[in-house]
Amino acid sequence: MIRPVAYAGYLVGGVLVGAPLSVGLLALGAVGAVLTPLLVGLPLLGLLALTGIPVGVVERWRLRQVDAPAATGPAAGSSRSPGDPHRTPDRPGLAAWAGLRFAEQATWRELAYAVLLAFVLWPLDLVVLAVVLGIPGAMIGAPVQLARLGGETRIAKLWLVDSYGTAFVCAACGFLLLLVLLWPLTLYGRGRAALARLLLTPRETEQRLAEVTESRARLVAAFEAERRRIERDLHDGAQQRLVALSMTLGLVRLDAPPELAGRLAAAHREADQVLGELRELIHGIHPQVLADYGLADAIADAADRSAVPVEVEVDLPRFSESVESAAYFAVREALANVGRHSGADRAWISAGCGEGDRRGRRLWVEVRDDGRGGAPRPGTRHTTGRGGSGLTGLADRLAVLDGTLTVDSPPGGPTVLRLEIPC
């Protein structure tokens, strides 16, 4: 008996939510359409597109209430309870929240459900409640109606009752009819809740994808933080000790006897060489120019260090650390490949941030050379056995940030490497 009562309450709630929702959607849509030529209506139409979000919150709460009686314990209830399908914005602010919501499929499914509820579902709920509860309820109340009106009464505008004997028979029949109709009511309620659950709850694949996306973002942030920590420890620790050692060896050489001067000079040169290698290693882990001045200057610095002359045409704003780091090391790897494998005489780097797909603005960087071409695509191997593992690693690194890496390198050249990262 608990389930029919729960589903009856669920349908009553659908009428109470759907009726005012239909009025609100019609009013908001009409006002937005009328004011659109004045541009005032555009925010209203945007607000109309987001009306499914609060409706989804209310409906998921109602689904949890109707699911609760079927649970045998906390675990059973939580396994059926619908969760929130929306992701958390990666930065604060209304613009970030709205941009993410407009890009999510869940927002449009919620809007579709809101329209369906406002103009189709709640009238059906009302009809079902009227048939299942209204007619049997009127029959059960026949004795009361007869006593109140006296003489005779017509039940549900259908049957004439003129005596208490007939009234009590009608009440008994109404009670039996109610018991019979509770099963169809439960079936309709289940179907109604299943439809809402289909549109409003996150699909398992979407939920897992959102979890993977968030975990990848956390891993990237942790990786960059660890990279910075290692760079800082090497800079402030090992490098300073080597500098002190080199200075000490230089001072000792001034007063050293001739038989030790050669050995001290060799040790001094070795310490300077190790110090230079350590500085290059620190620069490769996280160059200071990238942290201080941004991606544009860091790309120019990488071009200056390239074995092949490079022309740079870059005009970029600052981005998040993870985006700048991924783009910088992709450029570094591309220039290293140009120097090692391409046989090119020149290379060109261009970069910018422009409109991308529906996910928003994207940073793009293009590295081109005039070499012999034939570079492997990420994940492929040369016929000589040399694999494109470096490009594959870059593609994997960019994929963590939802970025892409494409390589166009026909035999004979030129080779064009292009990366795009959402910014």
State pLDDT tens for residues 335-384.
888 888 778 888 999 988 876 544 457 889 999 998 888 777 665 544 44
**ω before 414 within 30° of 0 (cis)?**
yes
- State yes or no: pLDDT of 79 exceeds 50: no
Least confident segment among 7-16, 69-78, 328-337, 398-407: 69-78
Summarised one tens digit per residue, pLDDT across range 17-35 is 999 999 999 998 888 888 8
Q: Can you give the pLDDT at residue 26?
A: 92
Residue range 391-398: mean pLDDT, rounded: 75
User: Does position 403 have pLDDT exceeding 80, yes or no?
Assistant: yes
pLDDT of res. 211: 63
CATH of 288-422 given 3.40.50.450, 3.40.718.10, 1.10.3720.10, 3.30.565.10: 3.30.565.10
Helix runs in 201-257, H state only = 204-233, 239-255
Please state whether the predicted TM-score (pTM) of the whole model is above 0.75.
no
pLDDT at 195 over 80: yes
**Residue-level pLDDT at 270:** 82
For the chain, percent of residues with pLDDT exceeding 70:
78
Phi, psi angles (nearest 5°) of residue 368: -130, 145
Nearest alpha-carbon partner for 56 in 104, 143, 114, 131: 114
Q: Which residue would you say has higher pLDDT here, 23 or 230?
A: 23
How does pLDDT run across 283-323, given as a tens digit for each residue?
A: 666 677 787 788 888 888 888 888 889 898 888 888 887 78
CB 128 within 8 A of CB 11: yes
**pLDDT at site 116:** 94
pLDDT of residue 70: 58
Tally Cβ neighbours within 10 Å of residue 154: 14
Q: What is the pLDDT of residue 73?
A: 46
Look-up of token digits 């800082």: 232
Q: Reply yes or no on whether the pLDDT at 117 is more than 90.
A: yes
Mean of all residue pLDDT scores within the chain: 79
For residues 120-145, give the mean pLDDT.
Answer: 85
Locate the domains of the chain by residue range: 2-202, 218-285, 288-422
CB atoms within 10 A of CB 89: 15
pLDDT for residue 336: 85
| Per-residue confidence band for 218, with pLDDT thresholds at 50, 70 and 90 | low
Residue range 62-79: mean pLDDT, rounded = 61
Q: Residue 221: its pLDDT value, please?
A: 66
256 versus 3: the higher-pLDDT residue is 3
Categorize the per-residue pLDDT at 16 as very low, low, confident or very high, splitting at 50, 70 and 90: very high
Q: What's the number of CA atoms in the CB half-sphere (13 Å) around residue 32? A: 14
> Distance between CA atoms of 400 and 421, rounded to whole angstroms?
10
Determine the pLDDT at residue 158. 65
Residue 192 near residue 125 (C-beta atoms within 8 A): yes
Whether 81 and 64 have beta carbons less than 8 Å apart is answered as yes
Would the pLDDT of 1 be above 60? no
